[in-house]
Amino acid sequence: MSQYTSYKNILFLGDITGRLGRYVVRDLIDIIKNQNFNSKEILEFEVDFNTVKNIDFFIANCENASGGFGLTKKNYDDLCAIGIQALTGGNHIWDKSEIFSYINEAKNLVCPINAPNNLPGFRLRYFDIDNYKLAVLSVLGRTFMPPVNSFWEILPLKFEEIKLITPNILIDFHAEATAEKICFGKWASEFGVSCVLGTHTHVQTADEEILNNKTAYITDVGFCGPKNSVIGMDYEVSCKRLSLNLPTRNSIVKKGIAIASGVIVTFDMLSGCAIKISRLKFIKKYNNEEII
Ligand SMILES: [Fe+2]
Ligand SMILES: [Fe+2]
């Protein structure tokens, strides 16, 4: 959109999972930036085409970007280089031990605000979109999830702090339970949060809406990764693991068809209100030789 309007379009992509996830996100962003929507390589592209042509800011969850678990320095650098301006974490963000060596310099990465205090990383960051500021938070759910601090207690003070700087607040709510996600969305809306986007289940829901004429909400935006899989992992291995209750190692799918899932949110950045939310689904096939 023009730099002279306060309306900005933000594309948020769900958990980037492994190589196929990184590749499909790279290609989607390339298509958007080059307005190459008729590319023959696209198998499916469901999106609001009027909006996707004018993306002002790219953001994605990256907790599974490296082999399905965590984020290496190389993958962090690559995701920034392809044009993702903000990256959010999740319960897996610290899984690759090398993250401890670079996380304090990773300026585009936002880690869960209610994760245990001893873990390093920025827990709140402000990003510039033309003349406006966007505060980005990652929050972990507490139902059917590893134990974390109470976001109910942490966030009200944090919202006050943020509002002194900007009315635009985007939260990646990384959680398992649908009820907790819906409840959190309504609660955050009462505090004037602009946007609550669910992640973690890797399955896109169809319940996007604007709450209280203010807050863009969806229970889960879905994921970016291998389409023919069990939330990114190999079906045979998942089946064995789940049916036999054995501690089989998860194995990520590395070839075939990839899906990128996300939402586009239109903000009025002067007021901090979300105006519109629409889902995106992009599917592309990868030959083996493309996977390096
Ligand atoms: Fe995930
Ligand atoms: Fe997760």
- Does residue 265 surpass a pLDDT of 90? yes
Determine the distance separating the centroid of ligand 2 and the alpha carbon of 140, expressed in angstroms. 9
Those residues whose beta carbon sits under 5 angstroms from the ion ligand 2 are: 90-91, 200
Which entry of 92, 174, 200, 202 is annotated as an active-site residue?
92
Residue 58 forms part of a structural domain: yes
Residue 1 forms part of a structural domain: no
Determine the distance separating the centroid of ligand 2 and the alpha carbon of 199, expressed in angstroms. 7
Q: Per the structure block, which two tokens stand in for 159?
A: 């919202």
Q: Per the structure block, which two tokens stand in for 181?
A: 């996600």
Determine the distance separating the centroid of ligand 1 and the alpha carbon of 278, expressed in angstroms. 21
Q: Which residues contact 187 (CB under 8 A, 6 or more apart)?
A: 152
User: Could you tell me the residue range of the domain that residue 275 belongs to?
Assistant: 7-290
Q: How many Cα neighbours within 13 Å face the side chain of 70?
A: 12
Q: Per the structure block, which two tokens stand in for 143?
A: 């139902």
Residue 134 forms part of a structural domain: yes
Q: What integer pLDDT is reported at residue 86 of this predicted model?
A: 98
Mark whether 92 is an active-site residue: yes
* CA–CA separation, 252 and 227 (whole Å): 11
Q: What integer pLDDT is reported at residue 39 of this predicted model?
A: 87
* CA–CA separation, 112 and 93 (whole Å): 9
pLDDT band with cut points at 50, 70 and 90 for residue 292: very low
Helix (H) or strand (E) holding 266: strand 256-268
* CA–CA separation, 112 and 269 (whole Å): 24
Nearest to 81 by CA among 29, 123, 34: 29
How many structural domains compose the chain?
1
Mean pLDDT over the full length of the chain: 96
Q: Write out the DSSP string of 21-39.
A: HHHHHHHHHHHHHHT-TT-
Q: What integer pLDDT is reported at residue 290 of this predicted model?
A: 55
Nearest to 10 by CA among 46, 59, 79: 59
* CA–CA separation, 28 and 52 (whole Å): 11
* CA–CA separation, 268 and 275 (whole Å): 7
- Does residue 63 surpass a pLDDT of 90? yes
Residue 2 forms part of a structural domain: no
Q: What integer pLDDT is reported at residue 194 of this predicted model?
A: 98
Q: Per the structure block, which two tokens stand in for 151?
A: 């976001």
* CA–CA separation, 194 and 188 (whole Å): 9
pLDDT band with cut points at 50, 70 and 90 for residue 288: low
Q: What integer pLDDT is reported at residue 245 of this predicted model?
A: 86
The whole-number average pLDDT for the span 250-264 is: 94
The label of the residue with tokens 């500021």 reads: 133
Residue 124 forms part of a structural domain: yes
* In contact, 275 and 262? CB cutoff 8 Å: no
- Does residue 29 surpass a pLDDT of 50? yes
Determine the distance separating the centroid of ligand 1 and the alpha carbon of 271, expressed in angstroms. 31
**Residue, of 251 and 84, whose pLDDT is higher:** 84
List the CATH number of the domain containing 208.
3.60.21.10
The whole-number average pLDDT for the span 246-259 is: 89
Residue 246 forms part of a structural domain: yes
What one-letter code names the amino acid at 282?
F
